[in-house]
């Protein structure tokens, strides 16, 4: 696992000729389905976009990530509920009483912006799981907040959810200069960020 983390990196350039095996895509979907969230709230929806027409539309509204979106195999869009009422209907229907009561007691009284921030944090938990899964499966990945969210939502025709972050996945172009053997990872010293008590 440690070696895998040393080797994974944020891919800057994809080889458009290389495609991800269908079974690996299905496995990634199952992994996202099993991602953890606070009180098992699951305030999310994920789009796996491999259709070239839709990818090209998304590419145009992905700022400096345009080429990554065009050349990667699939773009996975991580969405969060933007309608709190619909989210509450979901958790009331699917969560045990204790978990739902936790939400009513500790989350629901918060201002709307804080509730939405709490939901977004759950999506980022799934994002972390997804990036590790890609590394384990030897799939290159690029998490991208550099997207025009309202335009992503329009392209994906969604109203109850809103895009939060997207991940380009595929296989690196061998000329990608961001590979760790060409551009070593830069991290703060371990003793500066980890304290053992």
Q: What is the DSSP string of 1-50?
A: -HHHHHH--B---B-TT----HHHHHHHHHHHHT---GGG---EEEEEE-
Q: Which one of the listed residues 12, 13, 55, 116 is annotated catalytic?
A: 12
Any idea what DSSP says for residue 162? E
Choosing among 3.40.50.620, 3.10.20.340, 1.10.3720.10, 3.40.109.10, the CATH entry for 2-193 is: 3.40.109.10
Q: Which one of the listed residues 26, 145, 159, 175 is annotated catalytic?
A: 145
Domain positions in the chain: 2-193
The pTM assigned to this predicted structure is 0.96
Name every residue whose Cβ is closer than 8 Å to that of residue 136 and which is 6 or more positions away in sequence.
Answer: 4
pLDDT at 194: 96
Span of 69-83, 122-136, 146-160, 179-193 with lowest mean pLDDT: 179-193
pLDDT digits over 140-167, tens only?
999 999 999 999 999 999 999 999 999 9
pLDDT at 109: 98
Task: Average the pLDDT over 21-31 and give the result.
Answer: 98
CA distance 72 to 171: 7
Active-site residue 148, yes or no? no
Phi, psi (rounded to 5 degrees) for 88: -65, -35
pLDDT at 69: 98
pLDDT at 143: 98
At 110, is the secondary structure helix, strand, or coil?
Answer: coil
Active-site residue 12, yes or no? yes
Active-site residue 145, yes or no? yes
User: Of 14, 19, 152, nearest to 78 (Cα)?
Assistant: 152
């Amino acid at each position: 696992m440690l070696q895998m983390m040393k080797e994974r990196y944020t891919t800057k350039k994809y080889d458009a000729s290389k495609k991800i095996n269908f079974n690996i895509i299905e496995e990634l979907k199952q992994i996202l389905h099993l991602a953890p969230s606070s009180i098992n709230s699951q305030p999310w929806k994920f789009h796996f976009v491999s259709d070239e027409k839709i990818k090209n539309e998304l590419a145009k509204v992905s700022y400096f990530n345009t080429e990554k979106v065009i050349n990667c195999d699939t773009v996975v869009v991580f969405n969060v509920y933007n309608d709190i009422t619909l989210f509450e209907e979901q958790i009331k229907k699917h969560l045990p009483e204790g978990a739902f009561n936790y939400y009513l007691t500790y989350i629901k009284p918060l201002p709307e912006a804080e509730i939405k921030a709490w939901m977004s944090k759950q999506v980022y938990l799934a994002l972390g799981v997804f990036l590790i899964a890609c590394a384990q499966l030897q799939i290159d990945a690029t998490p991208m907040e550099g997207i025009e969210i309202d335009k992503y939502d329009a392209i994906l025709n969604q109203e109850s959810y809103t895009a939060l972050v997207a991940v380009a996945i595929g296989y690196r172009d061998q000329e990608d200069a961001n590979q760790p053997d060409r551009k070593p990872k830069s991290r703060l010293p371990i003793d500066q960020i980890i304290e053992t008590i």
